[in-house]
Each structure stands twice: as structure tokens, then as C-alpha cells.
Amino acid sequence: MLDTELHQLSVDELEAAYRAKRLSPVDVTDAVLSRIAMHNDAVNAFVVIDTDEAMLSARASESRWERGEPLSPIDGVPTTLKDTMLAKGWPTLRGSKTTDPCAEWDTDAPPVARLREAGAIFLGKTTTPEFGWKGVTDSALSGVTRNPWNTSRTTGGSSGGAVAATALGMGVLHTGTDAGGSVRIPASFTGVFSLKPTYGKVPAWPASPFGTLSHTGPITRTVRDAAAMLNVMARPDIRDWTALPADDTNYLEGIENGVKGLRIAFSLTLGHVKIVDPEIAELVTAAAKSFEKLGATVEEVDPDLTDAESIFRTHWFASAAAAGKSVPVDKRYLLDEGLREIMERGRNVAAADYIEAASGRAAIGERMQAFFRDYDLLLTPGQPLPAFKAGVEFPDGFGFERWHEWTPFTYPFNLTQQPAANAPCGFTSEGLPAGLQIVGPLFADAFVLRAAKAYENIHPFKMPHAPISGS
């Protein structure tokens, strides 16, 4: 019998237990489903929970392990899918009342297909704001998703359901999408690990309305679990014509090699961020100093990203307008009021302005390529503020008008398409998580995972046992 509760076990632990026949995927899936039944009402992480399908898949996985024929190391591992990803048999409503739940749902998106082929046990689909348009998770369709560390606070978004499920052990592996920070924002607010891979590393289909800003990545309790998940999701799919060429990278190889000898940049402002909570700054600074203890050289320096906000805003608003074209005219009144507003602003973006923003984006990419000739990694806060009140787009008292104004550390690296991870780095005096963002050069996903694992080794990530009520 294992000392650790079943819902807390990692991929490595599950694989070893399945192989030795000390545990069955049926046992683990049943334990995780019990966690969902116990805690989901408090946080609203799921829009679909399919107990029958999960147990059917678990029994099939159990048979494969008994025969010694598992499909992969994640065969039998409980997994969730964000409700922006197509999955056979389940509606993909994208958090919107405008989507027809009775449509034909007979296709898996590429990451879903790869996970299914690998034997992952699909538990259900997790909450998202409408079309994933904002940095918090609430919608008229599915309600408000709440932070496990304080249920009066937001998880962030748009992968808010996935991170709530992660933190509470309602699944082991969780999928997210990130077009401006949507795997990293909620991970920072809830104290879990997430990775936005290099653009194209994980094939995606259908194409996101947010275009080449959008990445698909893992959300997990440990770095190694994310690496194991990426090993599967990064496999090729011909439907994504923008995907990177397939390679044989094993993201678990070398993950324990540490950061000794690396030159790491550290920035609390990225040269343009004006508001950073003092407690967040203190926690992130301490995390950066930990890399010095691990043998790296850490230098405080600000890359030139002063124009990133205006460039991102043009891309985001125009993309929102494009997303709106898929909504029938007679249903647009059902859309989130904030989404309708940015769609309208996007429709007013002139072609010349968009092309100018695309040129500005290219210039930022070039500057960051040059920056990473001098540095191996860049460390920043995950978010400048801790989690704020649930059910609102932005916190009061700062003069913000839209979500991207309080997420200045994440969206620049959607513009540049670089890999970026969130690693939990402690708690504020109110008990709210803080996150450390680890950014690497293009295609250096394994390097980012290696650095995150080195940090995790000396600062193990902490998860809540149950949702914590708060005011």
C-alpha cells in the first residue's frame, strides 16, 4: 500500500505502481472521481464530468497493464480537457451560450487525440470564460470558478477550471490553452505548475481565432508530470499546418541536470510594468536568488518590452472580432458584455494598423532573440498581483479597464512565441499563491522544464487538501 493518497500520486508513481500491480487505474480513477464529487461544488472546475466513460476507460487500461501492454507511461492516468478543445462524444461549448450543444461532436483536437492514444483517462471538461477571451474564469453559461486557496477569489483564466482541478487533486494531468497567459495566469493565482510551450510545439486544430498567439500546454502539480504530458501532446498531427516538425525529444531526459553555470536574467518590471505588489516582488526576488544557490549567475536586467501592450491589444481585439464572426447574428446578444465590447473595438482596427502591429510584433521578437544571446533564461513575476475577487474581470482600485492591463508579464511571450512556465514560489500574508515565470529562448522548452525542476527540488510545491473558504 502506498503512503500517499491516490489522488496525490504523480505519473512516475502511478506508472511504477501499475507496473508492479500494486495499484490499478480503476482504483486511482475512482479515488479521483471521489475528489471531484467532494470538492467540485466549492470551486466549479468542471462543465462535464463523465463518470461512466472514465471508469470504462480505466477498466480498459487495467487490462492493458495486467497484460504488460500499456500504451504509454501515462496509460491509466486521470486527465482533464479544457472546454475549448474538441473531444469525441462531449460538447465543446467554449463557455458560451451561443454554441449548440446538440451539434456533431465526433472529432478529437490533436492534443486530445494524442492523449487518448496514450491511454489517458478522460474525466471531463473544465471551465473557461467565453471563447477564452479574458484572464479570469467566469461565464453566463457555467458561472464563476473559484480559487481553492480562498474561494472568494478568482482562479484567473482562461484555464481556471483546469488549475482548480489540478490544485485539488481532481485529476493528474490537465490541458490548457494560452493566447495571452491562460495557462500561466491561473497557475500563478492557484500555486500549480504550467508550461506554455514554444508556438507550434503542440499541434492544435481547429485554428484558434487568436491565431499565432495561442499555445496549448500542460497544467500539473509537478514539473515531471508536465514533461511526461508534453512528451505525448507534442506528437505530430497533419491538421495543424503551423506545427513545428516532429522530433524525438524526451522532455524527461536531462530534466534533473540543474542550472549550474547558467546566466539568468531577472526582471521585476520588463521595463514597462508600473504596479507590482510588494509581497509578490519579495517572493519572486527570493525565488530568483534561489537560482544563485543552485549555481547560476543571476543578473537583474530589463528587456525592452515597452511597446508590447499596445501591440498585443491590437492583435487581441482584432482576433476577438474574428471570433465573433462565427456567432450567428441572432445569438450575439447572448455574448459576454465585455467580449462584445472588444469585438466591436476589433472591428474598428484598420488593416494598416494591424499590419503595423504585426511589424511591431516582429521587432519585439527580434529584440528577444538578441536578448537570449546573452542570457540562458529570464525570470519574472508570474503575475504582479495576488488573486483578487472572483467574478470580476479586473481588481478595483488600479484604474484598469481590461484584463490584459493586469497581466503584463505573460502576453509579451505570446507575441514572441517563446516557452514560458509558471512555478509556484510561496504565499502572501493572506495565504494566496505567488508565481515565478521562467522564460526561455525559442525551442528551449526542455531547458525551461529543467530550470523549473531545479527550483522545485529545493522548494517543493504545496497544494491545498481541500478548498479554503474566504471573504
- Taking a C-beta distance cutoff of 8 angstroms, is the pair 228, 341 a contact? no
158 in catalytic set:
yes
Specify the amino acid at residue 454.
Answer: A
Which of 139, 182, 208, 290 is an active site residue?
Answer: 182
Joined grid coordinates for residue 389: 475577487
24, 57, 61, 82: the active-site residue: 82
Based on the residue annotation, tell me whether 182 is a catalytic residue of this protein.
yes
Catalytic residue (one of 61, 142, 158, 194): 158
Catalytic residue numbers, as ranges: 82, 158, 182
